[in-house]
Amino acid sequence: MDVVSHALLGRLLVLDDRGWTRAQLWLVAIFGALPDSLQVPLYLVVGGVHERPWWLPWNEDWRGFREIHPYASWLWEVPHSLWFVLLAVVPLVIHFGLPRTCIAAYASHIVADVLTHHGEWATAPFFPLGPHVEGFWSAWDDHPLMWAACWLGLLAIYSVAARAWRRIAGAPIPLPPGLTPSLIVPHGRQTARTG
């Protein structure tokens, strides 16, 4: 899965964004993409070695890389481990008082990669202790057009799910017959209005 899709997936976790600031919503999206962002230096080095424009590596540049450079691959492995979530992300979020959804957004990245990484870039969600888990396909090797399709799919899911959620959460609670909303307005508010 590409970085933008991961960010969208993280943002999708906040279906009802009432009460959220724009900065908080961006933060949740950033946490969704964060596990890949930590390997930016490695990304640029691979692009540079293959003399790619802007040092941005092509998918094929990653083939065989993990086997040849197992320790450099740790820059990808470590932030894709659930141990990292437990030992680094959770303390960070709590210490800085960030929205707890940031933790879920970060974890959603790992779950998505476990499901969508197959073969040589399969994810080890309990690295360094657990095995690599084979996903259903090699999303890391997708064509950019596939990324765009994924963005549109996630935006469509968000749009439908957010509307459905708002309808459920925002719908007025049905009242028993004979009880009108004015009868359940808090006493203090009625007094304030008349005063």
Applying CB under 5 A, which residues contact Zn ion?
A: 35-36, 113
> CA 91, 126, 116, 15 torsion: positive or negative?
negative
Nearer to Zn ion, 104 or 162 (CB): 104
Nearer to Zn ion, 122 or 162 (CB): 122
Minimum CB–partner distance for residue 194 and Zn ion (Å): 59
Which are the contacts of 31, defined by CB distance < 8 A and separation ≥ 6? 10, 89, 102, 103, 105, 106
Minimum CB–partner distance for residue 183 and Zn ion (Å): 54
Nearer to Zn ion, 17 or 119 (CB): 119
Minimum CB–partner distance for residue 2 and Zn ion (Å): 9
Nearer to Zn ion, 36 or 77 (CB): 36
Minimum CB–partner distance for residue 179 and Zn ion (Å): 52
Longest dimension (CA), the chain: 77
Minimum CB–partner distance for residue 125 and Zn ion (Å): 11
CA distance 40 to 48: 12
Nearer to Zn ion, 32 or 35 (CB): 35
Helices 3-12 and 101-116 meet at what angle, rounded to 10? 130
> CA 121, 157, 20, 187 torsion: positive or negative?
negative
User: What would the two tokens of residue 19 be?
Assistant: 């009460």
User: Phi first, then psi: what are they for 117, rounded to 5°?
Assistant: -110, 130
